[in-house]
Structure 1
Amino acid sequence: MNKLLVGILVSIGLTAQAQSPKEIMYVGTYSVRGSEGIYVFEFDRKAGTMQPIQSISNGKSPSFLAIHPSGKYLYSVNEGADKLGGVSAYTIDKATGKLTYMNAQSTLGAGPCHVSVDQTGKTAFVSNYGGGSLAVLPINADGSLAAPSDSVQDVGTGPNTARQDKAHMHSATLAPDNRFVYVADLTTDKVNIFDVDTKSSTVKPASTPYASVKPGSGPRHFTFHPNGKYAYLVEELTSTVAVFSRNPKTGALTLLDDNIKTLPDGFSGQNTSADIHIDPSGKFLYFSNRGANTLAIFSIGNDGRLTKVGDQPTEGKTPRNFLIDPKGDFVFVGHQDTDNITIFKRDKKTGLLTYTGQSVKVPAAVCILMATR
């Protein structure tokens, strides 16, 4: 092989290496035990490790995060803000994935705990747990946040007097078609359904305005099957999952199964459930339990119904949010009380997980996202 050909091949190899996408991870935290705010890591897929590259100072518990569909901006709720709440916007550096603060806005309610962005990138939705309300904020062309253009105040109580004393909106999840947003209220035991107007950044009740679950169950987080036909709800207070079918024309939900057990057999301690995700293939559903400190694993049938596959100990205490990587190879679990993220390898055929032995220190880890740069 002549020197010119060798040089060309080396050049091609170096170019391919230089252009290989970086996988950047963002971690939201509570402002306790020395947390600096939002943490940025680069994931090394071959080694299965997370390398820290930045931390962004935010002392108001930037707990839950969302990435703009363009990949250029990141948003964090400020759960520790005053009674008017708060949500912050950051730019994402295209080359490094590092964050730069842009601005913040009120969310018109205390204890904002969840943020999502519609697929057009024009509107953000923030759930105020303490205030029991939903705030709708326009997103400017430069990714910064405008003041809220709409809000919805929920009211009600539930049978669990300790937790369901007043409305507690916990999440707002956009439908795959971007026409509806589904808002879980832990207190009213309802998933509220709203039509979304992305041009005006406003919402209104859908023709079927809500779906109810068993009283006292405590709706928390919500997710859709990749086919858009089915949806799944965390019932926090009863440590169960609800299964719905969905009408794509009206957005209406029909309850198929409710109060499906997620705790390991024989577990009798205190537990509250937290997060829920489906793998990219749509074959398996995962569900986090705080107290049992496990991920419940279910297979998903062609009819959307669930069959329990197993329970994976998460190697930490109080697993809140977790992430299935976009390729479906790894699962990352954030622990609020042991200040760590644990990494698991995932078997795509069985859905089962194997702990890799990798654990990353992050104070009060609450939310984990991944983006490819």
Structure 2
Amino acid sequence: MNKIVLTGLLGFSMAAQAQSGKEIMYVGTYSLRGSEGIYVFEFDRKAGTMQPLQSVSNVKSPSFLALHPSGQYLYSVNEGADKNGGVSAYSVDKTTGKLQYLNSQSSMGAGPCHISVDQTGKTAFVSNYGGGSLAVLPIKSDGTLGEPTDKVQDEGTGPNAKRQEKAHVHSATLAPDNRFLYVADLGTDKVNIFNIDVTNSKVKPAQPPFATVKAGSGPRHFTFHPNGKYAYLVEELTSTVATFSRNAKTGELTLIQDNVVTLPANFTESNTSADIHIDPSGKFLYQSNRGYNGLAIFAIGNDGKLTKVGEQLTEGKTPRNFLIDPKGEFIFVAHQDTDNITIFKRDQQTGKLTYTGQSVKVPAPVCVIMAK
């Protein structure tokens, strides 16, 4: 495996990737059915295919992934770690895209399921689903993770006795201005809002400190419109999406659409929603549904509100995470229970999808991301 040359220069890093001309993808998995850990692929845009480059051993379910803004490092939560949780750092060879293990730290809570990195590359935020907490870890100049410097333990319950018996922190998403962190808690039906200090890797509650959604809806993942004025929340337990306007000065969220239905009217079987993304133009929003096994497609109005324009079955079972490529041309859907990633061509005018016929075998894929 080639070792990365650490330059510390973002410009050099991005130039190196541009010169390589490669589009590199990373897939996080659960440690099931022979999964080796993290998988590395090269995407051939002309052919619309994914070619395997590397598998990186990690037997602790490196499920969710995040790239450092420099592109030189990658981070994974280790969802199958012990009650203290875990998170790992890897260096990225900018020529080949291959990974090399650097170090690991505790996430200070069970079942870490999501990680994000701030735009300065100095701080990582880890969501502990099982522990109901947020952990804050410093990132050192060599890309390694330091010991956690802050932790927020959430408390509370919701009306769904099976899923909301306690706090379940599911994601922590940074605002486009890198000033606020939005933490979705499935157990308490809240999106907690924090001011962040990335220099010292600390957080403190914003004012107001949270936004509340309909009881029993189960907040999961959160995303921002490219203009930063609007934000959207997956409501896992009700298979719906909530739309917010955002005050960029205070970080406050104002609910402008509640419990927008994502499933077809004639679908009556069990379902939970999972992931949510907006295309680069900001015209369309997509949300994955596990049970229906498809993506809901919405048009986004000038006022930020959603209008449903269709659905797309995803050619697999339990579509968890999915990726819209940075150019907005393709969507890649990771299916946790059928061990495959399917590739769709995207109509950038209508938002509709067409299956390309390409299905890549990966054991228990949970997260798919692309180096920019």
Asked if structure 1 preserves the Cα contact closer than 8 Å seen for 2:285 and 2:300, the reply is yes
Using the alignment, how far apart are the partners of 2:232 and 2:101 within structure 1?
A: 34
Using the alignment, how far apart are the partners of 1:365 and 1:295 within structure 2?
A: 17
Give deviations 1:104-139, integer Å, cap 9, x for gaps.
Answer: 000000000000000000000000000000000000
Answer yes or no: is 1:282 the counterpart of 2:282: yes
Using the alignment, how far apart are the partners of 1:258 and 1:232 within structure 2?
A: 10
Using the alignment, how far apart are the partners of 1:331 and 1:238 within structure 2?
A: 24
| TM-score normalised by the chain length of structure 1 | 0.95
- Where does structure 2 lack aligned partners over 5 or more consecutive residues? 1-17
Letter in 2 for 1:77: V
- Cα distance, 1:298 vs structure 2: 0.1
Partner of 1:15: none
- Cα distance, 1:19 vs structure 2: 3.5
SS at match of 1:94: coil
Asked if structure 1 preserves the Cα contact closer than 8 Å seen for 2:345 and 2:355, the reply is yes
Q: How does 1:5-44 map to 2 (within 5 A)?
A: 19=19, 21-44=21-44
Using the alignment, how far apart are the partners of 1:137 and 1:326 within structure 2?
A: 27
SS at match of 2:371: strand
Letter in 2 for 1:316: G
Using the alignment, how far apart are the partners of 1:250 and 1:19 within structure 2?
A: 41
Letter in 2 for 1:344: F
Q: How does 1:127-138 map to 2 (within 5 A)?
A: 127-138=127-138
Partner of 2:232: 232
Give deviations 1:154-200, integer Å, cap 9, x for gaps.
Answer: 01111000000111000000000000000000011000000000111
Asked if structure 1 preserves the Cα contact closer than 8 Å seen for 2:20 and 2:95, the reply is no
SS at match of 2:51: strand
Answer yes or no: is 1:263 the counterpart of 2:281: no
Q: How does 1:141-160 map to 2 (within 5 A)?
A: 141-160=141-160
Give deviations 1:329-373, integer Å, cap 9, x for gaps.
Answer: 00000000000000000000000000000000000110000014x
Using the alignment, how far apart are the partners of 1:243 and 1:87 within structure 2?
A: 31
Partner of 1:63: 63
Q: How does 1:166-245 map to 2 (within 5 A)?
A: 166-245=166-245
Using the alignment, how far apart are the partners of 1:41 and 1:188 within structure 2?
A: 37
Partner of 2:111: 111
Using the alignment, how far apart are the partners of 2:265 and 2:120 within structure 1?
A: 44
Runs (4 or more) in structure 1 with deviation over 2 Å come to: none
Partner of 2:349: 349
SS at match of 2:187: coil
Letter in 1 for 2:65: L
Partner of 1:296: 296
Using the alignment, how far apart are the partners of 1:33 and 1:19 within structure 2?
A: 37
Asked if structure 1 preserves the Cα contact closer than 8 Å seen for 2:331 and 2:345, the reply is yes
Letter in 2 for 1:192: N
- Cα distance, 1:20 vs structure 2: 5.4
Using the alignment, how far apart are the partners of 1:135 and 1:96 within structure 2?
A: 31
Using the alignment, how far apart are the partners of 2:305 and 2:168 within structure 1?
A: 28
Letter in 1 for 2:66: A
Give deviations 1:39-67, integer Å, cap 9, x for gaps.
Answer: 00000000000000000000000000000
- Cα distance, 1:94 vs structure 2: 1.1
Partner of 1:48: 48
Using the alignment, how far apart are the partners of 1:217 and 1:326 within structure 2?
A: 30
Partner of 1:364: 364
Using the alignment, how far apart are the partners of 1:148 and 1:198 within structure 2?
A: 13
Give deviations 1:188-213, integer Å, cap 9, x for gaps.
Answer: 10000000001110000001100000
Using the alignment, how far apart are the partners of 1:148 and 1:264 within structure 2?
A: 43
Partner of 1:251: 251
Using the alignment, how far apart are the partners of 1:109 and 1:269 within structure 2?
A: 33
- Where does structure 1 lack aligned partners over 5 or more consecutive residues? 1-17
Number of aligned residue pairs: 355
Answer yes or no: is 1:321 the counterpart of 2:321: yes
Letter in 2 for 1:205: P
Using the alignment, how far apart are the partners of 2:207 and 2:57 within structure 1?
A: 43
- Cα distance, 1:145 vs structure 2: 0.1
Partner of 2:90: 90
Using the alignment, how far apart are the partners of 2:157 and 2:310 within structure 1?
A: 34
- Cα distance, 1:305 vs structure 2: 0.1
Q: How does 1:325-340 map to 2 (within 5 A)?
A: 325-340=325-340
Asked if structure 1 preserves the Cα contact closer than 8 Å seen for 2:340 and 2:359, the reply is yes
Partner of 1:308: 308
- Cα distance, 1:21 vs structure 2: 1.4
SS at match of 1:156: coil
- Cα distance, 1:264 vs structure 2: 1.4
Of structures 1 and 2, the larger Rg is shown by 1
Q: 1:19 to 1:198 in 2, by over 3 A?
A: closer
Using the alignment, how far apart are the partners of 2:292 and 2:337 within structure 1?
A: 13
Using the alignment, how far apart are the partners of 2:307 and 2:362 within structure 1?
A: 33
